[in-house]
Amino acid sequence: MRDRWLKYVLLLPAALLVLGTAIWPLAVSLATSFRDWRLTRSLTPGEFVGLEHYIVALTDDPDFANALGVTAAFVGIDVTITVLGSLGLALLLRRAGVLQSLTRAVLILPFAVSPALVGISFRFMFNAEMGVFTWLAGSLLPWLRGFVWLADPWASLLVLVFSDVWRWVPYMTLVVLGGLAALPREPEEAARIDGATEWQVLRDVTLPALLPVLAVVAVLKTVFALKMFDQVVTLTGGGPGNATVTLAYLVYNLAFRWFDMGYASAVAWILTAMLVVLAVFYMRLVLRKPDA
Amino acid sequence: MNRAVARRLLWRGVQSALLLAVLFLILFPIVWMALRVRLTITDVRRGGAAGRP
């Protein structure tokens, strides 16, 4: 009898911790999303409005539609560059050499920098008058001389992508390098003996074997790109206009600038629903048996 | 020189140039951030505010 209950008693502290720090706040925000609660009017949640916030967000809110479009564009460009960049860099670093060892050693550094600091630093580096990247781009491409990067909607989005790619590509390169190291060498050697060129070996042998790792990289990066917040705050502030307002930044604005807690909770839950779908997909990829 | 060897050497050169560019892109912002923090600390110690954002 004692043994039967012991396992539950031992699990209780961890279960309570998860319940208090993860499940409870999630449940409260879900309940809030069905209520009308503006902090400027009341300190407690107001009347029950059902799915109204969700319906308004999905059908009748230009700010939400804009944030959804910005987030989709950001995720699309960011994930594509990150996956291709980390694959290319990992292939370059596969060979042994001094330069390769040096690069492998510094790969973790950008990921160790706080994203807020990355945003502030890139804002200075893309400053119109004294930014070093503004100067570099103007020197290499004369038609970009004097271009104000953070005042153009698409350019500011690209700067945001660049700052995120700078932080993530080296880290994802380490993941792809791990995947490359785990691949058996025999199929590649057999293809070379059969007369395949290096490009054919890469396209027909290495890449198909590496596809599960690349899929994990893509899904993981999509999850993190969907939650993009820190660099938006410190690099662009959502501007110019609302050209770089992502969904996470919109939730922040709704809740802590406009104090509309009910609607902010609903938008946050729409974002959470997208993340849950991706998380389930990610777990299926990771936990999939090799022969399945 | 054999053409295949020349091509391989050229490809190695391109790879090294790409890696150097990557190294520059990774390290330059970090060095810049470190320098900026150092400059700000020096400036604040002197009682100035030029280094502040």
Closest partner CB to A103 (pick from B19, B32, B36): B19
Closest partner CB to B30 (pick from A109, A120, A124): A109
Query: Is B19 in contact with A120 (Cβ distance < 8 A)?
Result: no
Amino acid at A39: L
Tokens of B42: 């020096």
Query: Is A121 in contact with B29 (Cβ distance < 8 A)?
Result: yes
Closest-CA residue to A168 (of A102, A235, A225): A225
Query: Is A99 in contact with B36 (Cβ distance < 8 A)?
Result: no
The predicted structure's pLDDT at residue B51: 47
Query: Is B30 in contact with A110 (Cβ distance < 8 A)?
Result: yes
Chain A residues with CB under 8 Å of B13 CB are none
- The b-or-e profile of A87-104 (16+ CB within 10 A means b, else e) is bebbbbbeeeeebbeebb
Q: Which residues on adjacent β-strands are paired with residue A35? A: A48
Phi-psi region of A50 (alpha: psi -120 to 50; beta: other; left: phi over 0): left
Q: Angle A145-A148-A149 (CA atoms, 0-180°, nearest 5)?
A: 105
d(CA A122, CA B28): 11
Query: Is B16 in contact with A99 (Cβ distance < 8 A)?
Result: yes
Tokens of A137: 């781009």
One digit per residue, pLDDT tens: chain A, 292 residues? 567 889 899 999 999 999 999 999 999 999 999 988 888 888 888 888 888 889 998 898 899 999 999 999 999 999 999 999 999 999 998 888 888 888 888 888 889 888 998 898 899 888 888 788 888 888 888 888 888 888 899 999 999 999 999 999 999 999 999 999 888 888 888 988 988 888 888 888 899 989 889 988 998 899 899 999 999 999 998 878 899 999 999 999 999 998 989 999 999 999 999 888 888 888 887 777 665 4
